[in-house]
A and B are shown apart, each in its own frame.
Chain A
Amino acid sequence: AAGVCSSLGSDTTLFMRPLALSAASNAAVWVRRLVCRSAATVAPPTQTTASAGMEVEYEAVIGIECHVQLLTRTKAFCSCPSEFGSQPNSNVCPVCLGHPGTLPVLNAAMVTLAVRAGLALGSEIARISKFDRKQYFYPDLPKGYQISQYDEPICTGGQLEVEVDGQLKSFGIIRAHLEEDAGKIVYAGADRLSGSDYSLVDFNRAGVPLLEIVSAPDMRSGHDAAAYGEELRRVLRTCGVTDGNMAEGSMRVDVNVSVRPRGSAVFGTRVEIKNMNSFSNMQRAIDFEIERQVSLLRAGRGSDIVQETRLWDEIKLVTNTMRKKEGLADYRYFPEPDLLPLNVSDEFIELVKASMPELPAAKRKRYLSLGLTRGDVAVLTDETATSQLFDAVLALGTPVKPAANWIQGDIMAYCKEAKIGMDALAITPAALAEMISLIENGTISGKIAKDILSDLLQGKGNKGVRVYIEKQGLLMISDEAAIGAMVDKVLEANHKQLQEFRAGKTKLQGYFEGQVMKESKGRVNPGLMKEILLRKLNGE
């Protein structure tokens, strides 16, 4: 399994082949799960070259800037609803439209979420921070400036521990700061301004609160970067800071990539890449860019690497220079005079700390200590809804392994098929716990449970699983006399096969088991049945 994935080298055309993924597969080999679960977790390409004389090995230096929309009810500086997907320009007001005479007023909830994020990342929370104006002209920026934080952000420092290929790596966080989002521009008839007859601007997004998280340049490959991005998303989703939906734009990433000879302490020329809408695209973009820069360096054309912004083209799978050379923008930052300095007290931080949920890293540790495999742990902690259901049934006394198996197996498969989150299932944790305990104590068979699972997941057993099963007449038959009678019936009806069996064709045991199972409509206790059948087959 690992072999399949590591054979994907730096050849970019390979990325066009869809990887055969089987999320429903229960072959829980941890390496395969983590490495092959999505295209985003391909092993990093090696950089050594075959030709003699050019033996310089290069290493990549990668940093990530991540913008997440904060899960507040209203916008950063006005009381318009902050929600995705509304009719254009329906969540707007004079303030977020930058009308004359309007003023921003700080949304306290966004501060709470920023503090929560900072605590989750181990950052230092600034007791005093301030807002600044970042100034530039663009049609999606109503005031002609963005309210942001420049030199006194709310969070500094921190780190994110990520497991990459079984290795625990710690990627530094430099800072996280609050700012407001801009509107969205749609070009009519073309992808960009030139060539389109008109543009449409939707200001629903203008003023939505953002947290910008800047990592240290600690990643060394697209693989590192994707792992960082996924864990960051996991942490922030767990804390309710953001829903981290890259497709909807509530999580956006820009990366900075440079290369240098391995062992050098000097940074190479840094290139910024934008326009990656998924972690797998981000990984591909980074790997492509590393290769592009290394090739230029090897060819002696290192000066062709310039500090610029490039866009990832997800069709052609290349990075391209942004057509307009922006030069170094001067944003003319100065402190926002319409807002007071942001004071965060020790008491407030303690309050937020007390309301923090269990972070993914802690949860993984806890699950490992329960005796689960790394593979199980990875699946169960990937989404909050999954671990919530798991913890809920554990709390009701369900044994660990069966709970883990049912949830990451049939239940997860059901969710995937129905395209719903695990928190959208109608089944209560109590019902699931009951179902599992009924299997454990022999009231029903595992097979029957599988058959009725989708009904239970839709809530049909919520008033009592045992009651439901009884109504369906599906209780497991464990009464030896009843089983004996069934076996006798089957043996009588299959006289010929019985003779053959007694003559030596022992393979027919499976046939008889199938017949008894059929006779009992799947309800017979398999273990007991086997035992009794064998006895009777052998004439006892």
Chain B
Amino acid sequence: MQAGLHNGLRSGSLRGLAFKAARCKHTAVSAAKSSVIRDIHDKITSKECTAVEVTQRYLDAISKTDPKICSFITVDADQALSQARAIDAQIATQGTEGIKVLSGVPLAIKDNICTQGTRTTAGSQILRDYVPTFDATAVSRLRAAGAVFLGKTNMDEFGMGSSTENSSYKATRNPWDPDRVPGGSSGGSAAAVAARECAAALGSDTGGSIRQPAHFCGIVGLKPTYGRVSRYGLISYASSLDVIGPMAHTVEDAALLLNAIAGADAHDATSSGQPTVDFAAGLLPAASLQGGSRPLAGRRIGLVVETLGEGVAPEIDAAIRAAAEHLESLGAVVEEVSMLTFSLGLPAYYVLALSEASSNLSRYDGVRYGVRTAGAADLPSMFCGSRGEGLGGEVKRRILMGTYALSAGYYDAYYKRAQQVRTLAQREMNFALASFDALLTPTAPSPAYR
């Protein structure tokens, strides 16, 4: 259902509106209309290109474009080419039979996802020299599928931010307009995809960090249901909210990535045991829609009124309403629905996410890995010095607020209360989804800003 919805949106007027709204200055950026992953797969299996050629092309694009866009914190050309060579070697010895759909496909990985042997910083100075000894489960599954890793993308430090300006390394620019932010915290991944520096990318989402930068950069970003993808190897921000998800040019690409990474993991007790499906299976190509066909007949879509109107940029509001009309033209019934708890989501998120983050970031103490301050005479100085030097301002602010919310005397008023609000919001969401197949909202109240 969701796949059909996305394709309906794509073929409709929303994209055109978003394009105009961004006042694109980079003519080099263009949105793909069909699956980039399948295109690469076809080229490799038909031997039109070698895997090495495909990877080299993307590495060249990075060399050319990234000085302007600054999507990448680390580019690992050696590893990428070595992975590509392995695919070519496999084809040479065993033919193209066993070549999977992601084999040889060059991906970018957000820098809060652990990659064995490749520096992983979470956008922070405190991990500037940290090299994981293990792959995140999502990464190891992609590796097993034959994917190529071009490098690690820029992000707001520890996922804290929505513009990638909180990175302690650099600011990433929106490929459509370098004066605008790419969004965050997965801004680097979003920009890399939009700027065609990679075929697709992994991002992470805690409070919108895949969806919002995907919106700002005009690509597809999917936040999977919590537990659908293993969190093992994702550097924790808020444990009960974090997810890893795909960022790509098309819905089909996102589905193909999700296929590779989804599923229960013994290393993550919160990963779901619900069986996975082939997420790419139900997709209807937009081009296949005949005039007058109504693939969404019988479907009900709820337009959340609290997400429109006041506070929302007029072009966004117009784009959503146009999308709703388009969905109706495809046969869906679109009705307005009110979610009274909608405005409570953000404050509850801030209390819960910051509380969990204040705890998750306690491990960055300079003792076992990461930056350690020099010359400390005692323990408090060592802890404070290492964290003081290594953590950025926004991270410190959030740790302080989270610590406050969990402290004795305040736990009931803040953390416990926020959990109760969360439960109410979940109930209302589930209640709405009992009468609608999907809920429609804008991703953000404005387009990418300066």
A334 proximity list for chain B (CB < 8 A): 355, 359, 406, 411, 415
A97 proximity list for chain B (CB < 8 A): 368
- Alpha-carbon separation in the docked complex, A133 to B130 (Å): 25
A340 proximity list for chain B (CB < 8 A): 269-270
Q: Does B81 contact A (CB under 8 A)?
A: no
With known contacts A100-B120, A101-B235, A145-B362, A332–B133 Cβ distance under 8 A: no
- Alpha-carbon separation in the docked complex, A193 to B377 (Å): 10
Q: Does A438 contact B (CB under 8 A)?
A: no
* CB atoms of B132 and A101 under 8 A apart: yes
Would you list 14 pairs from A and B whose C-beta atoms are within 8 A, ordered by A residue?
A94-B132, A99-B133, A100-B132, A100-B236, A101-B113, A103-B270, A144-B359, A145-B362, A203-B368, A332-B406, A334-B415, A338-B239, A339-B269, A340-B269
B269 proximity list for chain A (CB < 8 A): 103-106, 338-340
* CB atoms of A337 and B356 under 8 A apart: yes
- Alpha-carbon separation in the docked complex, A338 to B235 (Å): 13
Q: Which residue of A lies closest to B419 (CB)?
A: A335
Q: Which residues, 215 to 248 on B, are CB-close (under 8 Å) to A? A: 231-236, 239-240
Q: Does B369 contact A (CB under 8 A)?
A: yes
Q: Does A167 contact B (CB under 8 A)?
A: no
- Alpha-carbon separation in the docked complex, A180 to B107 (Å): 38
* CB atoms of B368 and A100 under 8 A apart: no
B136 proximity list for chain A (CB < 8 A): 101
Residue in A99, A143, A145, A332 whose beta carbon sits within 8 Å of that of B408 in the complex? A332
* CB atoms of B231 and A100 under 8 A apart: no
Interface string of B246-271 (1 = CB under 8 A from A): 00000000000000000000111110
Q: Which residues, 134 to 179 on A, are CB-close (under 8 Å) to B? A: 135, 137-139, 142-145
Smallest Cβ distance from A186 to chain B, in angstroms?
Answer: 14
Q: Which residue of B lies closest to A133 (CB)?
A: B359
Interface string of B333-358 (1 = CB under 8 A from A): 00000000000000000000001100
Q: Which residues, 326 to 347 on A, are CB-close (under 8 Å) to B? A: 330, 332-334, 337-340
B415 proximity list for chain A (CB < 8 A): 334
Q: Does B127 contact A (CB under 8 A)?
A: yes
- Alpha-carbon separation in the docked complex, A143 to B364 (Å): 8
A105 proximity list for chain B (CB < 8 A): 266-269
* CB atoms of A137 and B383 under 8 A apart: yes
Q: Which residue of A lies closest to B403 (CB)?
A: A332
* CB atoms of A139 and B367 under 8 A apart: yes
* CB atoms of A139 and B379 under 8 A apart: yes
- Alpha-carbon separation in the docked complex, A100 to B233 (Å): 7
Q: Which residues, 132 to 150 on B, are CB-close (under 8 Å) to A? A: 132-134, 136
- Alpha-carbon separation in the docked complex, A180 to B82 (Å): 42
A330 proximity list for chain B (CB < 8 A): 407-408
Smallest Cβ distance from A505 to chain B, in angstroms?
Answer: 86
Q: Does B122 contact A (CB under 8 A)?
A: yes
* CB atoms of B362 and A100 under 8 A apart: no
Task: Point out which of A94, A333, A334 has the most chain B C-beta atoms below 10 A from its C-beta.
Answer: A334
Given contact pairs A103-B269, A203-B368, A330-B407, enumerate 11 new A-B contacts (beta carbons under 8 Å): A98-B363, A100-B132, A103-B231, A137-B365, A145-B362, A194-B378, A332-B411, A337-B270, A338-B269, A339-B270, A340-B270
With known contacts A94-B134, A338-B239, A340-B269, A101–B233 Cβ distance under 8 A: yes
Q: Does A201 contact B (CB under 8 A)?
A: yes
Q: Does A22 contact B (CB under 8 A)?
A: no
Smallest Cβ distance from B131 to chain A, in angstroms?
Answer: 11
Interface string of A186-201 (1 = CB under 8 A from B): 0000000110000001
Smallest Cβ distance from B292 to chain A, in angstroms?
Answer: 49
Q: Does B114 contact A (CB under 8 A)?
A: yes
Smallest Cβ distance from B171 to chain A, in angstroms?
Answer: 23
Smallest Cβ distance from A64 to chain B, in angstroms?
Answer: 26
Q: Does A102 contact B (CB under 8 A)?
A: yes
Interface string of A101-115 (1 = CB under 8 A from B): 111111000000000
* CB atoms of B114 and A100 under 8 A apart: yes
Smallest Cβ distance from A197 to chain B, in angstroms?
Answer: 12
* CB atoms of B408 and A103 under 8 A apart: no
Q: Which residues, 98 to 135 on B, are CB-close (under 8 Å) to A? A: 112-114, 120, 122, 127, 130, 132-134
A94 proximity list for chain B (CB < 8 A): 132-134
Task: Point out which of A137, A203, A340 has the most chain B C-beta atoms below 10 A from its C-beta.
Answer: A137
- Alpha-carbon separation in the docked complex, A97 to B268 (Å): 16
Closest 5 CB pairs of A and B: A144-B362, A337-B239, A332-B406, A337-B240, A100-B235
B240 proximity list for chain A (CB < 8 A): 337
| Contact-residue bracket for chain B | 35 or more
By a beta-carbon cutoff of 8 Å, the part of chain B in contact with chain A is: 112-114, 120, 122, 127, 130, 132-134, 136, 231-236, 239-240, 266-270, 355-356, 359, 362-365, 367-369, 378-379, 383, 403, 406-408, 411, 415
- Alpha-carbon separation in the docked complex, A193 to B355 (Å): 31
Task: Point out which of B133, B240, B269, B355 has the most chain A C-beta atoms below 10 A from its C-beta.
Answer: B269
- Alpha-carbon separation in the docked complex, A333 to B363 (Å): 16
- Alpha-carbon separation in the docked complex, A203 to B134 (Å): 19
* CB atoms of A103 and B268 under 8 A apart: yes
Smallest Cβ distance from A318 to chain B, in angstroms?
Answer: 27
* CB atoms of B406 and A99 under 8 A apart: no
A144 proximity list for chain B (CB < 8 A): 359, 362-363, 365
- Alpha-carbon separation in the docked complex, A133 to B403 (Å): 13
Task: Point out which of B266, B359, B403 has the most chain A C-beta atoms below 10 A from its C-beta.
Answer: B359
- Alpha-carbon separation in the docked complex, A133 to B360 (Å): 10
* CB atoms of A332 and B114 under 8 A apart: no
Smallest Cβ distance from B424 to chain A, in angstroms?
Answer: 18
- Alpha-carbon separation in the docked complex, A97 to B406 (Å): 24
* CB atoms of B130 and A100 under 8 A apart: yes
- Alpha-carbon separation in the docked complex, A103 to B137 (Å): 12
Smallest Cβ distance from A131 to chain B, in angstroms?
Answer: 10
Smallest Cβ distance from B388 to chain A, in angstroms?
Answer: 13
With known contacts A102-B232, A105-B269, A137–B362 Cβ distance under 8 A: yes
- Alpha-carbon separation in the docked complex, A305 to B432 (Å): 61
With known contacts A94-B133, A332-B406, A340-B270, A101–B234 Cβ distance under 8 A: yes
Residue in B236, B367, B378, B411 whose beta carbon sits within 8 Å of that of A101 in the complex? B236
B130 proximity list for chain A (CB < 8 A): 100
Smallest Cβ distance from A253 to chain B, in angstroms?
Answer: 26
B120 proximity list for chain A (CB < 8 A): 100-101
Q: Which residue of A lies closest to B402 (CB)?
A: A332
* CB atoms of B407 and A332 under 8 A apart: yes
* CB atoms of B266 and A100 under 8 A apart: no
Interface string of A293-334 (1 = CB under 8 A from B): 000000000000000000000000000000000000010111
B114 proximity list for chain A (CB < 8 A): 100-101
* CB atoms of B368 and A98 under 8 A apart: yes
B236 proximity list for chain A (CB < 8 A): 100-101
- Alpha-carbon separation in the docked complex, A340 to B132 (Å): 26
Smallest Cβ distance from A305 to chain B, in angstroms?
Answer: 25
B362 proximity list for chain A (CB < 8 A): 135, 137, 143-145
Smallest Cβ distance from A146 to chain B, in angstroms?
Answer: 11
- Alpha-carbon separation in the docked complex, A203 to B356 (Å): 24
Q: Which residue of B lies closest to A78 (CB)?
A: B267
- Alpha-carbon separation in the docked complex, A142 to B362 (Å): 9
Smallest Cβ distance from A182 to chain B, in angstroms?
Answer: 12
Q: Which residues, 471 to 495 on A, are CB-close (under 8 Å) to B? A: none
Residue in A103, A145, A193, A332 whose beta carbon sits within 8 Å of that of B232 in the complex? A103
- Alpha-carbon separation in the docked complex, A145 to B403 (Å): 13
- Alpha-carbon separation in the docked complex, A486 to B235 (Å): 90
B378 proximity list for chain A (CB < 8 A): 193-194
- Alpha-carbon separation in the docked complex, A508 to B157 (Å): 101
Q: Which residue of A lies closest to B236 (CB)?
A: A101
Smallest Cβ distance from A323 to chain B, in angstroms?
Answer: 13
B112 proximity list for chain A (CB < 8 A): 101
Q: Which residue of B lies closest to A100 (CB)?
A: B235
Smallest Cβ distance from A342 to chain B, in angstroms?
Answer: 11
